[in-house]
Structure 1
Amino acid sequence: MNETLVGADVVDAELVPGGSPDTEVAVPIPRDRQLSPETIAAIAASTAASTRRAYAADREAFTAWSSREGRMVLPASGETMAEWVRHLTVTPRSRTNRPAAPSTIERALSAVTTWHLEQGRPKPNMRGARAVLNAHRDRLAEQKAPVAQPRQATAALPSQIRSMLADTDRTTLTGKRNAALVLLGFATAATPHSTDTPHQLR
């Protein structure tokens, strides 16, 4: 496989020997982009319930904004996506009274692009939207805004590790593997002042 640059996008392309300028290029017909209701349901079921609720809210917000702006919802153009992201970066949210954080905008973009997939529509060009989002992220980083800082996961306590191990059936190969991963993770990430060792946790 070779990577061929098309504008700012990278796509996979395969070299076909003996090709000529007159070679016809296969173009998907509308049927090729259609999904059955069963497949749409299967795709939706693969997403956590909380994410589905967030996606539904994002899609509703995008639909309302598009209606106010007189823009088409599906399929959305690249220009519409860029304008929507700019709107999200400057409009205070009712809950926080601040514009959306980059992670929230990322989720909103995913909600709309997966919506296109579910409806058998081509994914909109995201170059402009990504550029606006990157500029927003850089601006927040320069301001040292908390929402621009990476989140650090809270370390698990020894009691939580013990609970994980108690729920693991170590009579099976899978259970032994999972227990080993838990203990290894604890051993390599434990703080220097911890008095519990992996052996004691067992």
Structure 2
Amino acid sequence: MPPSTRRAYKTCWRNLEAWCRPRGLEPFGGLTPSDLIEWTVHLTTVPSQRTGELLSPSHIGKHLSAVTAYHRAGQLPAPDGYGARKILESYEQRLALENHPKATPRKASAAVPRALRKLTAVCDPATTIGVRDRCIQLLGMCLAARASDLVAIGRDRIRVDPDGRGIAVLVYRRKVKKWAWKGIPYGSHPDTCPVRATIAWLDLLDKAGFTEGPVFLRVDRHGNIAHKIMRKGREVGDPTGRLSTEAVSDVIERAADRADLPGRWRSHSLRRGLVNAARANGADLVDIGRHGDWADGSKELIGYIDEADIWDTEHNVLYGIGL
């Protein structure tokens, strides 16, 4: 399980424990389907203590998933969630009819080439952090990478093609537990070429003495690579200097702020961007799925494709019907 998911489930489980305590209920192995329904009703009606707002349907769904995950990990049968899921569906429909902001899924904006050019333009190529951030953005988009995919890449997993076609990158897709080599060809425009951006960053790492280990490392505002982070006299963070997945998202968010790009920009913007750009260019759905290592029949991938096709003359059925 990715660390970010584990942390989210831990928070959800603590919320369940706090709800169970005054009711004398045991959350682990002691909940009935009725208890789960009552808890779901609570989540749909009582605002969050942290934000003062109602939880979104997706957030409540994560709470229910946490119950299943904790019981599965403890090798205990989870309470039947059918009734709780029906409560959640009703809540989602009510919010939609009320035109409530929480009814609309919050998806990351897609870093298609048009947006990617703006993101990379605000990364100063004369600075160490600018070179690194451009590499994260361009390589991440071309690999259809999640943040966890990027931070796992090591120096030994990037090879320059001997025939001069580009670079090959060995990616571990943690979510589907799969290793795969991906060929990244040279780009048409030097400023947004993923190969040139990657080689420039690797050259900087070599000059700084980082010839092995993780590719994407911390860089402070002074240009120091893999600097130590101290908190209350103790060193924190990955001792190798490896970036965290949250830091990758920060790279995208900061660039979007500087570029004044509207929307919701996260590390997942890179993965979404590849799907939209490839589909707009006529790439086959199967090829896109194989490149990004989506599981067969992935609803996530289909959702991305639906968004990419809404103005496509080949897939929008309203074109050419005579209106």
What is the TM-score when the length of structure 2 is the normalising length? 0.39
CA contact (8 A) 1:58 1:111 kept: yes
1:176 is aligned to 2:183: yes
Is residue 2:51 matched to residue 1:58? no
Q: Distance in 1 between matches of 2:32 and 2:186?
A: 49
Q: Tell me how far 1:59 sits from its aligned partner.
A: 0.7
Deviation at 1:185, TM superposition (A): 5.0
Query: Which structure shows the bigger proportion of residues in helix conformation?
Result: 1
Structure 2 equivalent of residue 98 of structure 1: 53
- Determine the structure 1 residue equivalent to 2:290: none
CA distances 1:13-48 after superposition (whole Å, capped 9, x unpaired): xxxxxxxxxxxxxxxxxxxxxxxxxxxxxxxxxx22
Could you tell me which residue of structure 2 aligns to residue 79 of structure 1? 34
Are the aligned partners of 1:102 and 1:147 in contact in 2 as well (CA < 8 Å)? yes
Correspondence 1:102-117 to 2 at 5 A: 102-117=57-72
Q: Secondary structure at the match of 1:134?
A: helix
Q: How many residues align?
A: 145
Matched, 1:67 2:13: no
- Any runs of at least 4 consecutive aligned residues in structure 1 with deviations exceeding 6 A, and if so which? 177-181
Q: Percent identity?
A: 31
Which one-letter code corresponds to 1:139 in the other structure?
R
- Secondary structure of the 1:175 match is strand
Question: How far apart, in 2, do the equivalents of 1:125 and 1:186 lie?
Answer: 42
- Show structure 1 runs of 5+ residues with no match: 1-46, 193-202
Quick check: 1:92–1:100 contact (8 Å CA) kept in 2?
yes
Instruction: Name the CA distance, whole Å, in 1 between partners of 2:38 and 2:13.
Output: 15
Question: How far apart are the structure 2 equivalents of 1:135 and 1:66?
Answer: 23
Structure number with larger C-alpha Rg: 1
> Can you give the 5+ residue segments of structure 2 that lack an aligned partner in the other structure?
121-133, 144-159, 161-165, 170-180, 188-272, 283-307, 312-323
Measure how far apart 1:77 and its partner are. 1.2
State whether residues 58 and 105 of structure 2, in contact with CA within 8 Å, keep that contact through their aligned partners in structure 1: no
Q: Secondary structure at the match of 1:176?
A: strand
- Which of 80, 84, 87 is residue 129 of structure 1 equivalent to? 84
Task: Provide closer, same or farther for how the CA distance between residues 61 and 151 of structure 1 changes in structure 2, counting only shifts above 3 A.
Answer: closer
